[in-house]
Amino acid sequence: MTHRIVIVGGGAGGLELATRLGRTLGKRGKARITLVDANLTHLWKPLLHEVAAGSLNAAENELNYVAQAKWNHFEFQIGRLESLDRAAKRIGLAATLDEAGHELVPARSLDYDTLVIAIGSRTNDFGTPGVAEHCILLDTTAQAKRFHRQLLSHYLSAHARGQDDGNVSVAIVGAGATGVELAAELHNAALGLAAYGLKGIQPQNMKITLIEAGPRVLPALPERISVPVHKTLEKLGVTVLTSAPVKQADADGMTLATGEVIPASLKVWAAGVKAPEFLKGLDGLESNRINQLLVRPTLQTTLDDNIFALGDCAACPLDDGSERNVPPRAQAAHQQASLLARSLKLRLAGQPLPTFRYRDYGSLVSLSRFSAVGNLMGNLMGSVQLEGWLARMFYISLYRMHQVALYGVVRTGLMMLGDRIGRSTEPRLKLH
């Protein structure tokens, strides 16, 4: 019987793994590869802040799972993981409903010989009152589109009134990469919307406040990077508040622990991550306090050799002797997908599995078209700090590398050419 590999989660890691395995094991008939995701399309998660600001059209950058499966010799099943039966080697998928709540695809089960869980992470609101009711998260394309619609409605309303004294206030909680990049992208959007004639709200009247509970922006990156980013944001007119934990959110804004209220008509929560709640105790599998599945260095879960986990939903120990885990970053998911593409071939051949060793190649943060900063790390050059145009080019190359993994070099090159041509025929901002 053909070995059945089921991959749950079509994010960067899961989709890259399905594509790689489909091109090798699937194409040669050595295994049956099935990718499961609750959506029909994939968008690289680091681009969501651009979708929210309107500087990226999600429809033009989404990948269709059905087409990708056809092109790369794997199967796609729409559905959301609902249950796991480790003894029977079976997963249960919840029914898929349409917007009206009608059942499109019934609940069903899938059998596996090897299961890979790659369902990523969600924003962690830490139980802060009012966040779920009043804030927009940026975990999905739908959420990013929702924010963009709300932003655009403010501008259209002010434009219809025919006055130039309108304003919009945005509060972003969390000064990690997502929060910082969104703040810069929104400033760029304010300039662009005015340039297209929506002048009811002048650029200086978009009030952006970035709120961070810790002592500095970009707390996961070196201080030599966070300091210039902080200065650049302030030059762009962004109000940056550090050491300012949020106590609650409501319809009018954010209330800080000090009691200060930050007025905001649009509120984004981008602080902290956790794995989805249902992973906690999933059929007895071990998980940590943020619901990540505990895995060994082979990426196999601690209690089941037939189940692997990768990316943000996996708590994989670093090999540096510390008690820390691999950070939840796109480059980690990419590296783990590459390892599992080799490991699962070895598993089918009955050979020992290699262990995962995380390589930190540095971090890059985009400040829209204004700048980019970061550091690159390597064996030969050590750590090199980048800023400006060069950093921006390296930042863009990260997305192109993801595209190459999914589409190949030739198709990615054609897509880059199409993007270049499209710039002269389409607006720079999404205006609907």
Weakest-pLDDT range from 227-241, 263-277, 377-391: 377-391
- Determine the pLDDT at residue 163: 74
What are residue 80's DSSP bridge partners?
A: 94
- Determine the pLDDT at residue 421: 77
Q: What is the DSSP string of 41-55?
A: EE--GGGHHHHHHTS
- Determine the pLDDT at residue 366: 83
- Determine the pLDDT at residue 222: 82
Cα–Cα distance measured from residue 173 to residue 253, given in angstroms and rounded to the nearest whole number: 11
- Determine the pLDDT at residue 176: 93
368 versus 124: the higher-pLDDT residue is 124
Instruction: Express as a percent the part of the chain with pLDDT over 90.
Output: 70
**Residues 198, 228 contacting (CB under 8 angstroms):** no
What are residue 171's DSSP bridge partners?
A: 209, 267
pLDDT category at 264 given cuts 50, 70, 90 is very high
Structure tokens at 250: 């409501």
pLDDT surpassing 70 at residue 307: yes
pLDDT category at 214 given cuts 50, 70, 90 is very high
Selection from 218-222, 320-324, 382-386 with the highest mean pLDDT? 218-222
Structure tokens at 335: 């590296």
What are residue 197's DSSP bridge partners?
A: none
Radius of gyration of the chain (CA): 22
pLDDT tens for residues 355-384?
Answer: 999 988 777 788 888 777 776 655 444 555
pLDDT category at 190 given cuts 50, 70, 90 is very high
Structure tokens at 230: 């902080």
Question: What would you measure as the largest C-alpha separation in the chain, in angstroms?
Answer: 72
Cα–Cα distance measured from residue 117 to residue 10, given in angstroms and rounded to the nearest whole number: 10
Weakest-pLDDT range from 11-20, 81-90, 149-158, 373-382: 373-382
pLDDT surpassing 80 at residue 427: no
Weakest-pLDDT range from 60-74, 386-400, 408-422: 386-400
Domains in the chain, please, with CATH? 3-121+275-348 (3.50.50.60), 131-272 (3.50.50.60), 362-422 (no CATH)
Find the mean pLDDT for residues 3-9.
98
pLDDT category at 386 given cuts 50, 70, 90 is low
Find the mean pLDDT for residues 340-345.
97
- Determine the pLDDT at residue 378: 52
Instruction: Express as a percent the part of the chain with pLDDT over 70.
Output: 95
Find the mean pLDDT for residues 406-415.
88
Mapping DSSP to helix (H, G, I), strand (E, B) and coil, where does residue 67 land? helix
**Residues 129, 248 contacting (CB under 8 angstroms):** yes
Find the mean pLDDT for residues 385-401.
73
pLDDT surpassing 80 at residue 388: no
pLDDT tens for residues 33-49?
Answer: 999 999 999 999 999 99
